[in-house]
Chains A and B, each alone.
Chain A
Amino acid sequence: MNAPAKPNDWSAHPDERGRFGDFGGRYVPETLMPLVLELGQAYAAAKADPAYQAELTAFHKDYTGRPSPLYLAERLTEHFGGARIWFKRDELNHTGSHKINNALGQILLAMRMGKTRIIAETGAGQHGVATATVCARFGLPCVVYMGALDVERQKPNVFRMNLLGAEVRPVTSGTGTLKDAMNEAMRDWVTNVADTYYLIGTAAGPHPYPAMVRDFQSVIGTEARAQILEAEGRLPDALVACIGGGSNAIGLFHPFLADESVRLIGVEAAGHGIETGMHAASLTGGRPGVLHGNKTYLLQDDDGQIIDAHSISAGLDYPGIGPEHSFLHESGRAQYLSATDDEALAAFKLCAELEGIIPALEPAHALARVGDLARDLGKDGIIVMNMCGRGDKDIFTVAEALGRKL
């Protein structure tokens, strides 16, 4: 009944140099090059090792809580009056977002490699919490770099990481946000090359990170593809996911790349509006450059200096994007739209009120574009949206934006 997936031409990416077309690569200081090469080899070996895969699958089942459900959002479907809207519910995972999918995969790899200390960067704190969680579970010391501004904005997650035994180091250099946290994590790695594993949270950075993080997150799309075929008897017309670095989106998209009838739609954060310059939409409002180890679309000025991103969602507040998205954008396989802070807030409220699901502000951006799409597709259409995180962490931000005092 289910047509087997076509041979996936897209799975040839990246090449052995870590290139997705013109994007990706390994733009790191010489000190890190041997480490990045070693990581590439270690990951290739792990990927091919059934024992490693079995261990990961077992932890996903009993610790993460996979598979996550695919849920028909009936009242939202009715509200928009168009295509049936399905949520892939990765917000139900342990720790509250898709970030655990990757953190678990990487920490098992780090232990295989004999590394004894874990570092990570975090923006909203979801990746930091996921990393602190797996470090607690496996008994490894954990240092999380977080922009000083984000430490202030996301106090509950900082406390959560502390409870899990991680040390959160506020980063004051630069502008004190996610990009600076990533710089600081790189500086730590370059200084502690022998024992330290850098657990990057999104599908960006030097090769093999973009491909490796994508592989770990592809559990989302692999499950969703089987689940929608089971539920609807056919593939969806469109997939929708929010994009910061883009790990939840690439995880949903990748297993569908060869299904050319399925539209792939990424939603970037338009902040106060693309035209204001105060946004985080690297593809919509940026151009190619090199930062944090990869060539990709970046927000930058005429001199090639990186411009700060702006978004109500700390998790989308990053001036770059994973290189595979830059490639899918230029090749036209995926389409990238954007949603403003206000649109995301409206979608946030709508989802809470109609579905009894408080989404994170990140997937609220994706939901903000689902209505138009549902109407365009009409009642016969099917949409799968990645509900990649829950909104508990965002209630203070949302209260402030709505002018309410808690």
Chain B
Amino acid sequence: MTKDRIDRRFAALAAEGRAAFVAYMVAGDPGLEISQAILEGLPAAGADLIEVGFPFSDPMAEGPSIQLGSQRALKAGMTLQGTLDMVAAFRAKDQDTPIILMGYLNPVLNRGFDRFAADAAAAGVDGLIVVDCPPEESDPLADALDANGVALIRLATPTTDDKRLPAVMRRTSGFIYYVSVAGVTGVKEADAGAVAQPVQRLRAASGLPVAVGFGIRTPERAAEVARVADAAVVGSALVDEIAGALEAGTNENVTERVLSKASALAKAVRSARVRDA
């Protein structure tokens, strides 16, 4: 049932003829209350889908921004259970915006795949992205998610060649996440021109919408990506707003800064509409 929320959202956006703006946040960053406020404010700020990162102590594919965000969240006491609680509270108020959890395998494995999948579905989670669980290792997790109607969303990268593509596509649902640069999050800039061709290739191979992320920091870049992809994902640039606010000592308007950045990005994505309805 929950997978449907992702499908419905992408179908509605396709009907509007525009791409989705996907906002990423680290659950619990910089504190539990502010983080909940950010999550609940994102749909009104224009986020069509939300990726909620559950923090991990050793996030090996993240650049400095999300590493620091994860550390702030862990320090504030965030856990995988805490992340599920945040989503459940959000879901009580918003039944339409898809929520994708994103993170690393160990906390999920630690909880047990079946228990995690059941709890995630009950909390209103629609999909899961696990950075360090490639297709070769993900069957047990996919079984548990399938049984609970939670989408397993796989990452495809510039190094995913034609030989690997079928393995990456197998058991993927909801959408495909194209990592547009070989690198960690938020460091290299995505080249929108170089993204168009792989997006088409992935769309053709999967029949699923293709989201592009890792390296979109500005509204201009988000708009460029939104012209060729089905969704533009922004993470580090939003997390940086938290760091910036904390640095400026303005703890009270962290939420406003993040949401205003999200609005600007959402506006850019919405105005980039190029595809026909």
**Residues of A bordering B, CB below 8 Å:** 17, 25-35, 173-174, 179-180, 183, 186-187, 190-191, 193, 289-293, 298, 300, 302-306
Contacts and interface: CB of A to CB of B under 8 A. Distances in A.
Interface residues of B, number: 45
A136 to B, nearest CB: 28
Given A183-B58, A289-B109, A291-B106, A305 B155 contact: no
A232 B168 CA distance: 55
B133 interface: yes
The A interface, classified by DSSP as helix, strand, loop or mixed, is: mixed
11 contacts: A29-B157, A30-B156, A30-B168, A30-B179, A33-B164, A174-B67, A179-B58, A187-B184, A291-B58, A304-B110, A306-B106
A193 B111 CA distance: 33
Given A303-B79, A304-B111, A190 B182 contact: yes
Nearest to B79: A303
Interface string B25-64: 0000000000000000000000000000000111111111
Given A27-B133, A27-B137, A33-B134, 10 more contacts: A28-B132, A34-B164, A183-B59, A186-B60, A187-B62, A187-B63, A187-B184, A290-B105, A303-B107, A304-B109
Contacts of B187: 191
B110 A191 contact: no
Contacts of A190: 60-61, 182-184
B95 interface: no
Nearest to A175: B57
Contacts of A30: 134, 154-157, 159-160, 168, 179
Nearest to A191: B183
Contacts of A35: 159
A95 to B, nearest CB: 28
A177 to B, nearest CB: 11
Contacts of A31: 61, 157-159, 179, 182-183
B171 interface: no
Interface in B103-124: 104-111
Nearest to A36: B134
A108 B161 CA distance: 27
B159 A303 contact: no
Interface string B183-204: 1100110000000000000000
B58 A174 contact: yes
A31 B155 CA distance: 9
Contacts of A302: 110
B74 interface: yes
A29 B183 contact: no
Contacts of B159: 30-35, 193
